């Protein structure tokens, strides 16, 4: 991947949009790229934080594990996302695991160098703070769901969120979630059990609110599903 290609890819990310050729030069001097195969880990929970990553292609699962090895999925990131956000301006270790779930091409920049770049480019800091602000709002919303909603409603909210993040509208107005998730992964996203998720999905299918296509992808009737919790 040549320098021009990396520049074009990076400028698709919100924090780099609008930068001039001159402003992009120091970024390009720092940026490198690498391909990761599905099933490999980019970093593990507790590893030293070294790089900030930008996803050009593929999907990356961010998850934590407790002392008993139980998995809690924090997010599934895709093209156009950057991570780890917790690493900026902090001397800390990786707070979670990052596993490639679909062959990925990542552009990465050493965090300490990226921080120095941000210090000398305050306009980029403002854009980064907006990105971090969106993430805080999302996490706050998830916390409220956990406190205020029952498990049935939490699963519906999760499906609606996945529809917004990974959905593609079909001709009949329904939406296909373009990433496959197992019942175990769905359960790990909300701290529930696989059995509870399986039982709830069966209920939703009986109500014709969701279905799966021949390849196992979820098909969501967004408005009708949303109506279940309004």
Q: Between 229 and 223, where is the model more confident?
A: 223
User: Over 90: is that where the pLDDT of 100 sits?
Assistant: yes
pLDDT value at residue 229 = 77
Over range 136-157, report the average pLDDT.
83
Q: What percent of the chain has pLDDT over 90?
A: 27
pLDDT value at residue 123 = 78
**74 phi/psi in degrees, rounded to 5:** -85, -45
Nearby residues of 180 by Cβ (< 8 Å), 6 or more positions away: 216, 217
Instruction: Indicate the fold that domain 3-146 takes in CATH.
Output: Jelly Rolls (2.60.120)
Residue 98 and residue 41 in contact, taking contact as beta carbons nearer than 8 Å: yes
pLDDT value at residue 220 = 93
Residue 183 and residue 194 in contact, taking contact as beta carbons nearer than 8 Å: yes
Copy the structure tokens of residue 193: 């059990």
Over range 157-175, report the average pLDDT.
89
DSSP notation for 107-142: EEEEHHHHHHHHHH-HHHHHHHHHHHHHHHHHHHHH
Domain boundaries, the chain: 3-146, 151-228
CA atoms 43, 46, 49, 52: torsion sign:
positive
pLDDT value at residue 91 = 66
pLDDT value at residue 79 = 86
For the domain spanning 151-228, the CATH number is: 1.10.10.10
Per-residue model confidence as pLDDT tens digits over 59-82: 999 999 888 878 888 888 888 888
User: Over 60: is that where the pLDDT of 87 sits?
Assistant: no
pLDDT value at residue 98 = 95
Per-residue model confidence as pLDDT tens digits over 15-38: 777 677 877 888 888 889 999 999
Residue 178 and residue 167 in contact, taking contact as beta carbons nearer than 8 Å: yes
How many H-runs (helices) and E-runs (strands) does the chain carry? Answer: 8, 10
């Amino acid at each position: 991947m040549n320098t021009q290609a990396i520049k074009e890819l990076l400028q698709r990310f919100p924090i780099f949009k609008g930068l001039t050729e001159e402003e992009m030069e120091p970024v390009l001097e720092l940026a490198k790229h690498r391909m990761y195969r599905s099933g490999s880990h980019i970093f593990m929970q507790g590893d030293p934080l070294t790089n900030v990553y930008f996803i050009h292609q593929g999907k990356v699962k961010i998850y934590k594990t407790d002392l008993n090895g139980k998995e809690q999925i924090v997010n599934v990131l895709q093209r156009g996302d950057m991570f780890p956000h917790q690493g900026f301006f902090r001397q800390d270790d990786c707070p979670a695991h990052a596993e490639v779930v679909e062959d990925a091409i990542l552009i990465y920049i050493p965090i300490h160098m990226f921080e120095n770049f941000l210090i000398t480019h305050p306009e980029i800091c403002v854009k980064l703070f907006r990105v971090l602000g969106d993430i805080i709002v999302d996490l706050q919303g998830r916390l409220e769901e956990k406190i205020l909603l029952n498990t049935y409603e939490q699963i519906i909210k999760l499906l609606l969120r996945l529809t917004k993040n990974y959905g593609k509208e079909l001709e009949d107005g329904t939406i296909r979630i373009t990433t496959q998730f197992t019942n175990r992964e769905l359960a790990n996203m909300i701290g529930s059990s696989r059995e509870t998720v399986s039982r709830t999905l069966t209920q939703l299918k009986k109500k014709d609110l969701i279905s799966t296509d021949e390849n196992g992808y979820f098909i969501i009737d967004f408005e009708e599903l949303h109506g279940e919790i309004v």
